[in-house]
Amino acid sequence: MGDLTMLRSRHLLGIEDLEPAEISLILDTAVAMKEVGTRSIKKVPALRGRTVVNLFFEPSTRTRLSFELAEKRLSADTMGMTTAGSSVVKGETLIDTARTLEAMSPDMIVVRHACSGAAHVLARVCRSSIINAGDGTHEHPTQALLDAFTIQGRKGRLAGVRVAIIGDLAHSRVLRSNVLLLTRMGAEVVACGPATLIPVGLGRMGVTVTTSIDEACEGADVLMMLRVQHERMHGLFLPSVREYFTLFGLTAARLARAKSDAIVMHPGPMNRGVEIASDVADGNQSVILDQVANGVAVRMAVLYLLAGGEQNEGA
């Protein structure tokens, strides 16, 4: 591990705010956290007496449950709130909801929201540490961190690794966080999708942009497929799902264009037969379930470091 032992900010709002040394610190800390998950008693006292609120205004399986598990493995007290069953359905605003929760003195709030910038708004009005668990089409920092942890675990490094990110680029916070992280850590990133789903300015983020999936797959070490986000499409971006799969779906033939030891990733949830063929998703080059497992270790690392890391342990 390097010299750095703490993160500069008490919030994790995006990869945008992290320096390479901080990314390395999180990834190195996650190695130790992963070891905790191999023990018969998968629990350490690092966050004993700390309260974490999980505030999910959008559906989630992986992120919400892995944050909950990470918090429990660190011995934190946790509370969860989703839109359904809360006063949000009666019209309570995000800020009023956050202030209400703050009155109960949590130490950290993990938030997922459909609006880009929602986590930043909370960071301005709350005393608690805010962790962005996905805000609109903006960022999903812990997803990019767990993706990097998975790539580093399989390839031994991030620098120089060729990563092709393919799919619905326009609506993807996973793309944005991964591009920021991977380029910052010296990886070579190629982004591929239909011309209607390429965000303006992507080429200026240090990535090669193409509409040819064959070109994107050629020589890649990592193929990262992105979900077609129908729920965020308010217009006609795709002629049909069938045509999308024909032009942009990852098939075994396209995978064969990548390096022979290439890994296949997907943040989930997957649309099988849309962005990825089932035999590829379940094949021996797929690390999709490793990503899920690594999500727990990486989120433990983030929670631990935001709570003060080694300094907190001495408290």
**What is the set of active-site residues?**
62-63, 90, 112, 140
**5 is a site residue for ligand CP (CB under 6 A):** no
Scanning residues 212 to 241, which ones bind ligand CP (CB under 6 A)? none
Residue 257 CB, shortest distance to ligand CP, in Å, is 26
Omega into 194 within 30° of 0, i.e. cis?
A: no
- Comparing CA positions, the residue from 238, 119, 228, 216 lying closest to residue 172 is 228
- State which residue, 269 or 283, has the beta carbon closest to ligand CP: 269
Fill in the per-residue mask, 122 to 141: x = in contact with ligand CP (CB under 6 A), - = not in contact. Answer: ------------x-------
**Smallest gap, in angstroms, from Cβ of residue 84 to ligand CP?**
16
User: For the CA atoms of 166, 167, 171, 173, what is the dihedral angle to 10 degrees?
Assistant: -30
269 binds ligand CP (CB under 6 A): yes
Residue 49 near ligand CP by CB under 6 A? no
Nearer Cβ to ligand CP, position 59 or 160?
A: 59
- Count the Cβ atoms, other than its own, within 10 Å of residue 110: 30
Q: How far is the CB of 62 from ligand CP (least distance, A)?
A: 4
**Given the rule CB under 6 A, which of 34-42, 54-62, 197-205, 299-307 is the region that contacts ligand CP?**
54-62
Buried b (16+ CB within 10 A) or exposed e, 216-239: bbbebbbbbbbbbbeeeeeeebbe
Question: Closer CB to ligand CP, residue 139 or residue 221?
Answer: 139
Q: Parallel, antiparallel, or unpaired for β 263-265 and 51-56? A: unpaired
Contact at 8 Å (CB) between 250 and 277? yes
- At residue 296's C-alpha, the angle toward residues 185 and 81, to 5°, is 115
Residue nearest to ligand CP (CB): 63
In the block, tokens 């990548």 appear at 258
Among the residue ranges 38-46, 61-69, 94-102, 203-211, the one whose residues contact ligand CP (CB under 6 A)? 61-69
Could you say whether residue 20 binds ligand CP (CB under 6 A)? no
Stretch that binds ligand CP, among 20-28, 57-65, 72-80, 81-89 (CB under 6 A): 57-65
2 near ligand CP, rule: CB under 6 A: no
- Quick note: the x/- pattern for ligand CP over 134-173, rule CB under 6 A, is x--------x------------------------------
Nearer to ligand CP, 62 or 257 (CB): 62
Q: How far apart are CA 63 and CA 69, in angstroms?
A: 10
Residue pair 185/159 in contact (Cβ under 8 Å)? The answer is yes
Q: Mark 238-267 with x for binding to ligand CP (rule: CB under 6 A) and - for no binding.
A: -----------------------------x
Contacting ligand CP within 63-82 (CB under 6 A)? 63
60 in contact with ligand CP (CB under 6 A): yes
- Nearest residue to 266 via CA among 257, 277, 256: 277
Residues in contact with ligand CP by CB under 6 A are 60-63, 134, 143, 267-269
